[in-house]
Chains A and B, each alone.
Chain A
Amino acid sequence: MGLAAAFWVMAVFAVAAALLVVSLRNIFRTALALIVCFIAVAGLYITLSADFLAAAQILVYVGAISVLIILAIMMTREVRQGNPANRPLKLPVLAVAVVLLGLLVYVVVASPWQVSGTPPLAPTTGPLSRLLFGSQGYVLATEICAVLILAAILGAIVLAKEKEE
């Protein structure tokens, strides 16, 4: 019952914040609502006994990604009240969003979800690290991910670099 209550509080906060993100006109407040949404999702992870994932969610999404989004907003004064160029696209966007939502709801309701009978692991850090870096785990995929991100960063630097005349 306690878990259910916590789940519903987090779920309501996450959905309400997500709605604010798409409906608010002030783009800075939109970014703040996004942060609330991320924190609520981290709370959902805690109710699922995934404490490491919750801390990583706060650290990466709230501490780094949201902060970079806000920094980008601060650099671009003109879009403070939203971009007027997107207004003609309102109806097509609505149609796509409704179709996507319908599909997702259908899939979630129609799939037969299996509930695992094993109790959740108490400290998740150890098993997680063995899965990511152990010889029997996904060490190759992890390393390829790291190289991919590094390549993306280098590409961004090359693109953003000023041309030397």
Chain B
Amino acid sequence: MPDISPLLTGHLPAATAAYWPGGYWGHWAFYTTALITFALLMVMGAIYIERRLLGRMQSRLGPNRTGPFGLLQPVADALKVLIKEDIIPQPADRLVHWLAPVVAFVPVVMIFAVVPFQKGALLADLNIGILYVVAVSSLTTVGIFMAGWGSSNKYSLLGAMRNVAAVVSYEIPLVLSILGVVLIAGSLSLNEIVLAQDIPFIFLQPMGFLLFFMAACAEINRSPFDLMEADSEIVAGFHTEYSGMKFAMFYLVEYAEAIAMSAIISVLFLGGWRGPLLPPWLWFVIKVFAVFGFMVWTRATFPRVRIDQLMAFAWKFLLPLSLINLFVTAIQVLTIPDAPWLVFIINTAVMILLVIIWSGLFKVGWGRVEV
């Protein structure tokens, strides 16, 4: 049989695929099913955790009536949106309006294709893994754009335009902070990056972790960067005109993106599936939920930024700091490649110094009073 599966899944090493009955195709079918199931289950867990944790942080209970501890609340929500009426506005561009949720959803699921759950347990061990993640995740923007344009609603359009401003600006510090990790690991493959982490890279790249976390939160529009769906200003942003299952798709995209970014952060900075005692996949899930819990914490803590603050933060804070981080890391890789603890001390000192100096340049409100 002619072998075209590398076209679909990238360059699969024979070692991971050969164990499966049916070779490449068995491997491909198993992992595709498993990954979609995993993503959907994690999203339900994430929604539950977010609502309960937010409730806890805001001194209230959160959903606790459906099932034990409110565990069945995501199921009830899913059933509710499934039977809701699907409304399309009269002046909408019907084709674009219909396609938008699908275009937004597909790339998010595709990110999981290169995430390693155990040693070698991943759909496709691409040697350009992290570049693939960055490239594919930038596709979601197109779906959000289509939603904003196709709805023929000024609030939707405003939300979509805010999104592009955020994504284009934050992509740069996001990629630059990944480069520090790539320099130390010496590979773009996520599997290789995990194998290189005898010490989790959060210790060797503390500033890289901080910058990546902030840029990722902005990239996937988590609060405090959720300007594109700021309900106090522009109703619900790009998905104002969506209802029923299509709205549920966008809701799904939002949380699947958060889980995907948490997974990428775990892989890049927290050692992925590596850890003592517990089985590797359990470590991975724990780390993903820990990072997601941290995202919920930031959401409950910080107020939403303004659009000019959002831009200034990307270009005047994240960009110069990520450039300096890349420069420092490059010098360290060339001069002291075998002294991780020295690197740890230097990088932590550099991070604390730079963050203190740079945050002195910013003032809350910036002296402007607007009514």
Q: Chain A: residues with CB nearer than 8 A to chain B?
A: 1-3, 5-6, 26, 28-29, 32, 35, 46-47, 51-52, 55-56, 58-59, 62-64, 66-68, 70-71, 74, 122-123, 125
Closest to B163 in A: A67
State the CA gap A64–B135 with chains docked (Å). 10
Stretch in B124-132, B257-265, B268-276, B304-312 touching the partner: B124-132
Let me know if B85 is at the binding interface, CB within 8 A. Answer: no
State the CA gap A68–B145 with chains docked (Å). 11
Partner of B142, one of A6, A52, A56, A62: A62
| Residues in B whose Cβ lies below 8 Å from that of A123 | 127
Assuming the contacts A58-B139, A62-B139, A74-B160, asked whether A52 and B131 have C-beta atoms less than 8 A apart, the reply is: yes
Partner of A52, one of B7, B128, B134, B160: B128
| Residues in B whose Cβ lies below 8 Å from that of A122 | 11, 127
Closest to A2 in B: B4
Apart from A2-B4, A32-B146, A125-B127: 10 A-B pairs, beta carbons within 8 A? A3-B4, A28-B149, A32-B142, A55-B132, A59-B135, A59-B138, A67-B167, A67-B168, A70-B142, A74-B161
CB contacts under 8 Å to A, within B11-27, are 11
State the CA gap A34–B261 with chains docked (Å). 28
B139:A63 contact, CB within 8 angstroms: yes
| Residues in A whose Cβ lies below 8 Å from that of B92 | none
B131:A55 contact, CB within 8 angstroms: yes
| Residues in A whose Cβ lies below 8 Å from that of B145 | 67, 70
A51:B128 contact, CB within 8 angstroms: yes
| Residues in A whose Cβ lies below 8 Å from that of B2 | 1-2
Closest to B129 in A: A55
Assuming the contacts A55-B135, A58-B136, asked whether A63 and B164 have C-beta atoms less than 8 A apart, the reply is: no
Closest to B150 in A: A28
In angstroms, how far is the closest chain B Cβ from the Cβ of A110? 31
A67:B142 contact, CB within 8 angstroms: yes
A35, A59, A64 — most chain B CB neighbours (10 Å): A59
| Residues in B whose Cβ lies below 8 Å from that of A29 | 93, 95-96
Closest to A68 in B: B168
Q: Which 6 residue pairs are nearest across A and B when measured between Cβ atoms?
A: A2-B4, A63-B138, A59-B135, A58-B135, A2-B2, A123-B127
Assuming the contacts A35-B142, A62-B139, asked whether A74 and B149 have C-beta atoms less than 8 A apart, the reply is: yes
Let me know if B178 is at the binding interface, CB within 8 A. Answer: no
Q: Chain B: residues with CB nearer than 8 A to chain A?
A: 2-4, 7, 10-11, 93, 95-96, 126-128, 131-132, 134-136, 138-139, 141-142, 145-146, 149, 157, 160-161, 164, 167-168, 171, 188
| Residues in B whose Cβ lies below 8 Å from that of A26 | 93
Partner of B7, one of A3, A59, A74: A3
In angstroms, how far is the closest chain B Cβ from the Cβ of A90? 26
State the CA gap A46–B132 with chains docked (Å). 12
A67:B164 contact, CB within 8 angstroms: yes
State the CA gap A101–B161 with chains docked (Å). 37
Closest to B158 in A: A74
| Residues in A whose Cβ lies below 8 Å from that of B11 | 51, 122
A1, A2, A6, A56 — most chain B CB neighbours (10 Å): A2
State the CA gap A67–B167 with chains docked (Å). 10
Assuming the contacts A28-B96, A55-B132, A70-B164, asked whether A63 and B7 have C-beta atoms less than 8 A apart, the reply is: no
In angstroms, how far is the closest chain B Cβ from the Cβ of A9? 10
Assuming the contacts A28-B149, A52-B128, A63-B141, asked whether A2 and B134 have C-beta atoms less than 8 A apart, the reply is: no
In angstroms, how far is the closest chain A Cβ from the Cβ of B244? 23
| Residues in B whose Cβ lies below 8 Å from that of A3 | 4, 7
| Residues in A whose Cβ lies below 8 Å from that of B139 | 58, 62-63
In angstroms, how far is the closest chain B Cβ from the Cβ of A130? 14
A66:B142 contact, CB within 8 angstroms: yes
State the CA gap A62–B10 with chains docked (Å). 19
State the CA gap A51–B149 with chains docked (Å). 32
A64:B128 contact, CB within 8 angstroms: no
| Residues in A whose Cβ lies below 8 Å from that of B161 | 71, 74
Assuming the contacts A1-B2, A62-B142, A63-B139, asked whether A56 and B96 have C-beta atoms less than 8 A apart, the reply is: no
B164:A55 contact, CB within 8 angstroms: no
In angstroms, how far is the closest chain B Cβ from the Cβ of A88? 29
Ordered by A's residue number, 26 sampled pairs between the chains whose C-beta atoms are within 8 Å are A2-B7, A3-B4, A29-B96, A32-B142, A35-B142, A46-B7, A47-B7, A51-B126, A55-B131, A55-B135, A56-B135, A58-B138, A58-B139, A59-B138, A62-B138, A62-B142, A63-B139, A63-B171, A64-B138, A67-B142, A68-B168, A70-B164, A71-B161, A74-B161, A125-B127, A125-B188
In angstroms, how far is the closest chain A Cβ from the Cβ of B39? 21
B142:A55 contact, CB within 8 angstroms: no
| Residues in B whose Cβ lies below 8 Å from that of A125 | 127-128, 188
Closest to B139 in A: A62
State the CA gap A66–B142 with chains docked (Å). 9
State the CA gap A70–B126 with chains docked (Å). 30
